[in-house]
Amino acid sequence: MKVAIVGATGLVGQTMIRILEERKFPVSKLIPVASEKSSGSIIHFYDVPVPIVTLEESLKEKPELALLSAGSDISLKYSPLFTEKGSIVIDNSSAWRMHPEIKLVVPEINAAILTRSDKIIANPNCSTIQMVMVLSPLHERFRIHRIIVSTYQSVTGTGIQAIRQMENERSGISADKVYPHPIDKNCLPHCDSFLDNGYTKEEMKLVHETQKILDDPSIRISATAVRVPVTGGHSEAVNIEFGKHFELDEIYDILAASPGVTVVDNPEDNRYPMPITVNGKDSVFVGRIRKDLSGNNSLNLWIVADNLRKGAATNAIQIAEYLLSNKFI
């Protein structure tokens, strides 16, 4: 099928192209889409040079599938235009995630809610995806009442300009910055813009998207999102209060049997998930699994995943694979 990648020159767009190759998704024609200034530039798909086109040119191609990762404004304007051309849109921005009629999908959790009539499908936020991958099977068994999460998010979540800022700072080069403060040798408790309630948009995404994906608005969630000077992936310290008693052996058994989740938890051998070891992998890794000694029915977890892969590109392509396997495309 014809597949358009909108935002093909960005970090997520580039990762989508690699994953289409890796997973051998049936692409008859790749349509890489970027801004006017990138039009005519070349990317490679299976080592074959493919010219980048504009959004207007891509619409004329009438792709069966459009994977969008170019920001909310682009998604709000062009997603409906793609669907008018017969495309199914999987959107990686925040534009459609909380729209009541748009499905927010992590395939291992809720792909079954998708139907043939879904023409725009929302890909969740990267930090949300990795958290719900671990929490969903635990919620089914023990019912989560409350979540407190602190994230430690890679600069790759901001984009190539953030990587350049960090690398320039490490090299002593003065250049344009995308963060309001230095990021190298620093941590910024500031992911996305601040809202009137004192939280950032990133923090509130963790609240609202988790409730929507788990289909449970009663779950109480408090989040603090921090940008850290790493490139391998996002990390999260998650504290969970359950409605039912649990034993640690049960937690290990449930997570070990959960598709897409890998347990790495042997502190005696210094084995636990880290961005440097999950980089380039599609699984969500969890470790430091221990009871919260300060509360009843409470658990602490450490969750790490490559935010460009399962946190964005891989999840989107897994959605497309589900649509294909069910003949929705």
The residues near 57 (Cβ < 8 Å, ≥ 6 apart) are 33, 39
Give the torsion sign (CA, 273, 279, 281, 284): positive
Active site annotation includes 234:
yes
Catalytic residue among 126, 139, 181, 190: 126
Nearest to 145 by CA among 300, 290, 298: 298
Residue 81 half-sphere exposure, CB side, CA atoms within 13 Å? 14
Rounded Cα–Cα distance for residues 239 and 161 (Å)? 32
94 residue type, one letter: S
- Nearest residue to 165 (alpha-carbon basis) of 314, 173, 157: 173
Strand order in the sheet with 234-242: 220-227, 144-153, 234-242, 298-305, 284-291, 261-263
- d(CA 76, CA 311) in angstroms, rounded, equals 21
Buried b (16+ CB within 10 A) or exposed e, 95-119: bbbeeeebbbbbbbbbbeebeeebb
Verify whether residue 145 is a known catalytic residue.
no
- 139's tokens: 């919620």
CA dist., res. 161 & res. 54, Å (int): 22
Q: Which positions ≥6 away from 163 have C-beta within 8 Å?
A: 155, 156, 231
Query: Euclidean distance between the first and final Cα of the chain, in Å?
Result: 9
Structure tokens of 30?
């790749």
Residue 224 · residue 180 · CB < 8 Å: no
Q: Which of 44, 139, 191, 234 is catalytic?
A: 234
Residues with catalytic function: 126, 234
